[in-house]
Amino acid sequence: MKQSQLFTKTQKQAPKDEVSLNAQLLLRAGFIDKEMAGVYSFLPLGLRTLNKIIEIIREEINAIGGQEILLTALQNPKIWKITGRWDDEVLDVWFKTKIKTGGEVGLGTTHEEPLVNLIKKHINSYKDLPKYVYQFQTKFRNEKRAKSGIMRLREFIMKDLYSFHANQEDLEVYYKKAQEAYLKIFNRLGLGDKTYMTYASGGTFSQYSHEFQTITSSGEDLIYVCDKCHIAVNKEIIKDLNHQCPECGNAKLHEEKAVEVGNIFKLMDKFSRALDLKYKDKEGKSKSVIMGCYGIGPQRVMGTITEIYNDNKGIIWPEAVAPFNVHLISLGKDEEAQKIYDDLLKNSIETLYDDRNVRAGEKFADSDLIGIPYRVVISGKSIDAGGVEFKKRNEIKSKIIPIKSLISKIKQS
Ligand code: ATP
Ligand code: MG
């Protein structure tokens, strides 16, 4: 894309009321726009990154059998009243409103109830199980605090996957698979080293649930990390475990601030029982379906990546989620730059080409702020030195490389 065509502008300073680093950087770089506290729009650069995160998650969930659907945001109170979650005062994060012709609706905070209600029409026998259904869908939660930028939103996309099984053994097998898929996802997102599968309370239905917690000073949670097992325990259950690793017994766990980027639960028959989701087993006996649920928030992931990968000049995107791979900058050499741009596109290398008529200093500052992994500068100086100036966003020094080896250099980097 040509930068002269990009409608967003960068800003030198973040708005004064923006306290979180991720929102400051993403606002300044033109990735997002703030509508109100906890509510942000995604602009062209931001949407490219968000879509890359979503696509990585989608690929890995498809790889474990997920079938994608899209449920509604507007929720019928009827089914939520059956499970008691419509009027749940303790957990109340609902945005509710009235329908003009009568009756209430709510904006979905999660989707167990409507999905169980839907899947009832399609599951009758053990032959229909297991099934895995997921979506990327907008959730609305009236969160009390919304000061963490896009890490805690009042309107956010969640990838929520739900699994349906004939028995607990089958759930356990799939639950393990989902854990592995989650670790793959966070590895591919560039968060592998800092993300820990974290033992958390299982609620009323099972001994543990698992959170995926990424270490960052901006996190709102505390976790206790076992370096030997690369797992952690969250604060609510650390006492129950006597401050020991549940896997190896290690008592030398260290406390870290972290953010919950994902969460997986064994729901067992909690919702299927309440909403009467049953199947007939081989003997024709009626049984409750056993369920698991698995969430990830792509915007929270994007905020977390921004919090971790930055320096005093801007964002430093991991390649897998960068809005573009190459930032091509022309300093008065537009004809040569255009040729390089065409060549990059021909080789399917996603490129933002800064063809604007602005000072070099401004182009460099914007490039550092936006944080594209590779910067390629073409100028009179670079041509005299033998080609283009090539620099990785996370390195200080640039080097001159011949134009004809640029493509192979990027492909092997
Ligand atoms: P938290 O404890 O941080 O409020 P949660 O436990 O309520 O999160 P879940 O219901 O488990 O969240 O949601 C699944 C995933 O959705 C979370 O792991 C997170 O990635 C994402 N998520 C949850 N709440 C938000 C939010 N307010 N803004 C952005 N993403 C969110
Ligand atoms: Mg959670």
83-130 pLDDT per residue, tens: 999 998 877 999 999 999 999 999 999 999 999 999 999 999 999 999
Instruction: Report percent pLDDT > 90 for the chain.
Output: 96
pLDDT band at 206 (very low <50, low <70, confident <90, very high): confident
Query: Per DSSP, what are the bridge partners of residue 268?
Result: 291
Residues having CB closer than 6 A to ligand 1 are 110, 141, 143, 152-153, 156, 158, 260-263, 295-297, 299-300
The ligand that comes nearest to the alpha carbon of residue 37 is 1
Model pTM? 0.97
How many angstroms is it from 210 CA to the middle of ligand 2?
Answer: 9
Nearest to 293 by CA among 102, 111, 65, 85: 111
Domain ranges, ordered by start, for the chain: 11-311, 324-412
The ligand that comes nearest to the alpha carbon of residue 299 is 1
The per-residue pLDDT for range 362-399, each reduced to its tens digit, is 999 999 999 999 999 999 999 999 999 999 999 999 99
Instruction: Work out the mean pLDDT of the chain and round it to a whole number.
Output: 96
Average pLDDT over residues 318-322: 98
pLDDT band at 150 (very low <50, low <70, confident <90, very high): very high
The per-residue pLDDT for range 234-261, each reduced to its tens digit, is 999 999 999 999 999 999 999 999 999 9
The per-residue pLDDT for range 22-33, each reduced to its tens digit, is 999 999 999 999
How many angstroms is it from 35 CA to the middle of ligand 1?
Answer: 20
Tell me the best of 155, 260, 299 to mutate to test the pocket of ligand 1, counting ligand atoms within 8 Å of each CB and taking the most.
260
Instruction: Report percent pLDDT > 70 for the chain.
Output: 100
The ligand that comes nearest to the alpha carbon of residue 213 is 1
Q: Which fold has domain 11-311?
A: BirA Bifunctional Protein; domain 2 (3.30.930)
Q: Which fold has domain 324-412?
A: Rossmann fold (3.40.50)
- Identify the pLDDT of residue 25: 98
Ligand 1 atom with the smallest distance to the CA of 110 is 10
The per-residue pLDDT for range 162-196, each reduced to its tens digit, is 999 999 999 999 999 999 999 999 999 999 999 99
Residue scoring higher pLDDT (406 or 91): 406
Cα–Cα distance, 56 to 296 (Å, whole number): 12
pLDDT band at 202 (very low <50, low <70, confident <90, very high): confident
228 pLDDT above the threshold of 80: yes
